[in-house]
Amino acid sequence: MTLWFVFALMTVAAIFAVLWPLSRARQASLGASLGGNEAVVYRDQLAEIDRDMAGGIIGVAEAAAARVEISRRLLAASDQSQSEAPVQSNLKLRRTAATLALVGLPVIAAGVYLALGSPQLGDFPLSERSRAADANQPLANLVAQVEAHLEKNPTDGRGWTVLAPVLSRLGRYDEAVRAYRNAIIYAGDSADRRADLGEALMGATGGVVTAEAKSEFERAVALEADDAKANYFLGLAAEQDGRKADAAAIWQGMLAKAPSDAPWRPMVQAALVRVGGVSAPGGVSAPALPQGAMAAAKDMSEADRSTMIRGMVDRLATRLKQNGDDVEGWLRLVRAYLVMGDRDKAMSALADARQAVANDAERLRQLNEGLKNLGLDG
Amino acid sequence: MIAESGHYALVLALALALIQSTVPLLGARWRDVALMNVARSAALAQLLFVGVSFIALVTLHVTSDFSVVNVYENSHSLKPLIYKITGVWGNHEGSMLLWVSILALFGGLVAAFGNNLPLSLRAHVLAVQAWIASAFYLFILITSNPFLRIANPPIEGRDLNPVLQDIGLAVHPPMLYLGYVGFSISFSFAVAALLEGRIDAAWARWVRPWTLVAWIFLTLGIAMGSYWAYYELGWGGWWFWDPVENASLMPWLAGTALLHSALVMEKRNALKVWTILLSILTFSLSLLGTFLVRSGVLTSVHAFATDPTRGVFILLILCIFIGGSLTLFAWRASALKQGGLFAPISREGALVLNNLFLTTACATVFIGTLYPLALEVVTGEKISVGAPFFNLTFAPLFMPLMIAVPFGPLLAWKRGDLLGAAQRLVAAGIAALVAIALVWAWTYGGATLAPLAIGLAVFVIVGVLCDLAERVGLFRIPLSISWRRARGLPRATWGTAFAHAGVGIALIGIVCETTWNSEYIGTMKPDDVAAIAGYQLRLDGMTQRQGPNFREMIAQFTVSLDGEKLSLMTPSKRNFTTRGSSTTEAALLTRGASQLYISLGDTAADGAIAVRIYHKPLVLLIWWGPVLMAFGGLLSLSDRRLRVGAPKPAKAVRALQAAE
């Protein structure tokens, strides 16, 4: 309501600005105040000549010549002002102008404003919105607040420790990596943080244990030999590198040392099944994604998830292009393309794979076997 | 409520401008005082409403109201307050709002202080101002509305382009706009004169302060922009003949010509039609600059957003105003009474020469800027007209102009004595020759043109001093009388002297910087030493630092001269997370008028960093020159006296030399 009141006040002010001179017409016409005119300027110029001559700036002869010229202009100017029509007062015109202001101005203003404006929207200054923080606020806003706090207090280790896992869960891995690094710098090094950092790095690369991530896991293990997460991912790294026996050894070692009620037992057992180490009870299906990436994928929209998967597949393809010995990898790639419905790419990957392992009879046999299982030609 | 009130205020300003553009004209036609006076109150009210609108937008930026698209796209809650404010015009919509605010400001000033104008002239001027204003209000409201809203506002904005997060943004655009838009007043006066069909010396007297104000701001705005580019972009260059720079240079050249021709008109009632044409052209070039920068025809820091509808709209405005005013000129100019006569060799003649050179220079810049664009539109072929073209065309035009500069003020009005003027300039000529000889000997075997150019600059500067000495009769009459005369000289004379000397000083800076600039480009590791122009710069190390909305890597250099430690320099690279971009912050060390300049490049894997180090001799003179020119303009502006160009009588006794 106040908004419309303010608009009304502003409109009245604008109309008043037009009507005011119209209402003062009578006095103005009587005084016939036509403002300044040329004659005034020339008279001032004449006075100026006298002053200049007195000050010695121009000579007597020049002054005389200038005076003649200016007097001529002065005469011309007064001739002109006399020939001009006298000032009139046209009541009809004034009424038209007044009507224009009273009707036209609000109509134009309202018409244009209603077409463009959003009168239903109030103000949203940031300070008021932050104060209204409550449980209903989306997670992103809370994160933004913590981030804002950390921009100002970048050495707050506790803040970084709180922020990092949230970012990781939101799938903002690059920022999570930075947050974990800062947490390590300002809140102290620990095996957990190193392992989490490694996991975030993996998330950023779509689930591939890069050299960078691997070195973080190694550091975590160096700090605490039994760190479950770091050990699990070191095993995964070995698996991704094609060293299945090493992976199995690492995971078996974990299972041997772990208490029987460790929550991660089923997952490691499943992984072990995957690399053909020991068969696990119940035949749990193997998680294809690292834990973090999996959790993130669950919250993602369909589009985001497919982008993420696509990214992982692309990375796998790149890795295989550099090192084509990994038959298992080739099979995974072909399968991925088939699942994604991209048969052409699957076929070209298949051809690449054949070419890559052509020199190795044993690998070629494994490849053909695998392809047969996928339902492709032998 | 703030956002919507600002929006509504802008709409009201449009409505007022529409009334202001019609009613006063009717009033002038029927000679009705009341209707003519509507122009005045409407202009003041329009200023009030645009002001409200602008303040509303500033408030929205300061309070980070991200429900406004403009704020969301160009602000960030963590930005320092100053950049929240300057960010208002660091984007297309906001900068257009600043443009119309300044337009309304000038209109309001004419309305408030134009009491000495004839009523019908004032009504005409304000009506023409309102035409321009209406066109731009419509442009803003329809294609570039800064008050559009988002129903579900995001919690954080996208931040301002990091290059613009600099104190330069607080100064450069407002100054430049004050200059660009200021010329709208002389345009309106010219169109008003054409509409009224009469023009005389008094007209020039009335336009003078407005043209001067616009020229001062444009000069400072261009100089400021050049200095900003110099220290922010990290290349050490100060002028690139970039189309956007040219777009600001063209109105400056035309405006400078206008200042000089208006002088002839005011004092001698001559060159009237030409002055009118120049007024129209100057503002047309300002509009053209706005079109080039805002339409997205060019890509540069200045082209914030490209949107074809905007381009078409501005092009339409451009065609209507330039085409319309030139048609009006062609139709009405012949009806204007011709003014006084003068001999070719006279002060008037010298000013005509000045105008010839300036307008030709302006035309070459115009061709060099627009030809590539036109060619691309017509044939699709992309060519670039760069520095070589401009150096080859612009410099030969400016050299003779510079030679002529000291002669102008020494010639008498109406009929001058070239030989006499030359005799008075002997001292300047000798000084120039000595300067050439000295520079040539000192840099023996170096560039040949540079000493000549410096000699020319010295000629201009000493020529100005000769003129002053002549006027106060230095050494010819007792010193005390000279002193009294110097104090009695009109301030406009001093203004001329400062402005002309400023040109010479800027020329020295330009020649020294381009000729004897030395540079070191390479990668450095901590404790490496780079040697340049006698200085040793040691890279001490690099540190990381957290800024308000960026992280920066600072490199620290110790500068020493002949083994003696002088100072520390800390260039840095800033990383802005929100926009994911980085800027280089060059470090400058000023020694006299020369500068050492370090800017950082990329870091290599082994910890080495690419650096560019420049030594720029006398580079600051490039900007001191324009500042001096602007100061001269200010002095001239403060001279509220009437100006009379006393003609030299045909058979004069040579008593005293004709002056102002």
**Model pLDDT for residues B42-61, shown as the tens digit of each residue:** 999 999 999 999 999 999 99
The kind and range of the H/E element at A113 are helix A105-116
Cross-chain Cβ contact B19/A18 below 8 Å: yes
- Give the lowest-confidence range in B360-369, B460-469, B598-607: B598-607
Closest CA to B616 of B502, B511, B540: B511
Q: Chain A closest CA to B14's CA: distance in Å?
A: 8
Please name the residue that has the structure tokens 């969301």: B72
Please name the residue that has the structure tokens 């449009």: B14
- Which chain B residues have a beta carbon less than 8 Å from that of A1? none
**Closest partner CB to B1 (pick from A62, A105, A122):** A122
B313-332 burial string, b = 16+ CB within 10 Å, else e?
bbeebbeebbeebeebbeeb
Average pLDDT value for chain B: 87
Closest CA to B196 of B136, B120, B263, B257: B120
**Model pLDDT for residues B95-117, shown as the tens digit of each residue:** 999 999 999 999 999 999 888 88
Collect all residues with Cβ–Cβ distance below 8 Å to B316 and sequence separation of at least 6. Answer: none
Say what the pLDDT of residue B411 is.
Answer: 87
Average pLDDT value for chain A: 78
Cross-chain Cβ contact B31/A85 below 8 Å: yes
**Closest partner CB to A35 (pick from B119, B644, B653):** B119
ipTM of the complex: 0.85
Residue B147 pLDDT more than 60? yes
Work out the average pLDDT over A227-241. Answer: 86
Choose from B62, B115, B122, B155 for mutation: most chain A CBs within 10 A. B155
Cross-chain Cβ contact A21/B120 below 8 Å: no
CA atoms within 13 A on the CB side of B89: 22
Say what the pLDDT of residue B33 is.
Answer: 85
- Give the lowest-confidence range in A56-60, A296-300, B282-286, B391-395: A296-300
- Domain assignments of chain B as residue spans, ordered by start: 1-165, 195-412, 417-516+627-638, 518-616
Tell which B residues from 376 to 435 touch A, by Cβ distance under 8 Å. Answer: none
The verdict on B343 touching A (C-beta cutoff 8 Å) is: no
CB pairs < 8 Å spanning A and B: 269
Residue B659 pLDDT more than 60? no
Instruction: Pick the most confident of A199-203, A341-345, B350-354.
Output: B350-354
Residue A283 pLDDT more than 80? no
Fill in the DSSP letter of residue B128: H
**DSSP letter for each residue of B307-375:** -HHHHHHHHHHHIIIIIHHHHHHHHHGGGSPP-----SSSHHHHHHHHHHHHHHHHHHHHHHHHHHHHH
What separation in angstroms does the CA of B363 have from each of B274, B281, B320, B330? Answer: 16, 11, 21, 20
Residue B652 pLDDT more than 50? no
Compute φ and ψ for B239, nearest 5 degrees: -155, 125
Percentage of chain B with pLDDT > 70?
94
Q: Who has greater pLDDT, B502 or A290?
A: B502
Tell which B residues from 523 to 552 touch A, by Cβ distance under 8 Å. Answer: 546, 548-549
Say what the pLDDT of residue B601 is.
Answer: 86
The verdict on B254 touching A (C-beta cutoff 8 Å) is: no
Fold match between A155-242 and A300-378? yes
**Which pLDDT band holds residue A280 (cuts at 50, 70, 90)?**
very low
Residue A54: CB atoms within 10 A of its CB come to 10
**Closest partner CB to B35 (pick from A42, A94, A105):** A94
Say what the pLDDT of residue A35 is.
Answer: 60
Cross-chain Cβ contact B23/A35 below 8 Å: no
Collect all residues with Cβ–Cβ distance below 8 Å to B176 and sequence separation of at least 6. Answer: B217, B218, B221, B222, B224, B225, B248
Say what the pLDDT of residue B280 is.
Answer: 95
Domain covering A155-242: architecture: Alpha Horseshoe (1.25)
- Which chain A residues have a beta carbon less than 8 Å from that of B648? 62, 65
**Model pLDDT for residues B24-36, shown as the tens digit of each residue:** 999 888 888 888 8
- Give the lowest-confidence range in A32-41, A155-164, B475-484: A32-41
Work out the average pLDDT over A10-33. Answer: 75
Nearest CA in chain B to A55: B488
Collect all residues with Cβ–Cβ distance below 8 Å to B409 and sequence separation of at least 6. Answer: B347, B464, B467, B493, B496, B497, B500
With respect to CATH, is domain A300-378 assigned 1.25.40?
A: yes
Using a cut of 0.80, tell me whether the model's pTM lies above it.
no
Across the beta sheet with B587-591, the strand order is: B518-524, B609-616, B594-603, B587-591
Contact yes or no for B365/B243 (Cβ under 8 A): no
- Domain assignments of chain A as residue spans, ordered by start: 2-116, 155-242, 300-378
Cross-chain Cβ contact B35/A44 below 8 Å: no
Say what the pLDDT of residue A289 is.
Answer: 46
Nearest CA in chain A to B140: A116
How far apart are the C-alpha atoms of B577 and B592, rounded to whole Å? 38
Nearest CA in chain A to B340: A69
CA atoms within 13 A on the CB side of B250: 26
The verdict on B81 touching A (C-beta cutoff 8 Å) is: no
Q: Chain B closest CA to A289's CA: distance in Å?
A: 29
* Helix, strand, or coil (residue B80): coil
Cross-chain Cβ contact A121/B149 below 8 Å: yes
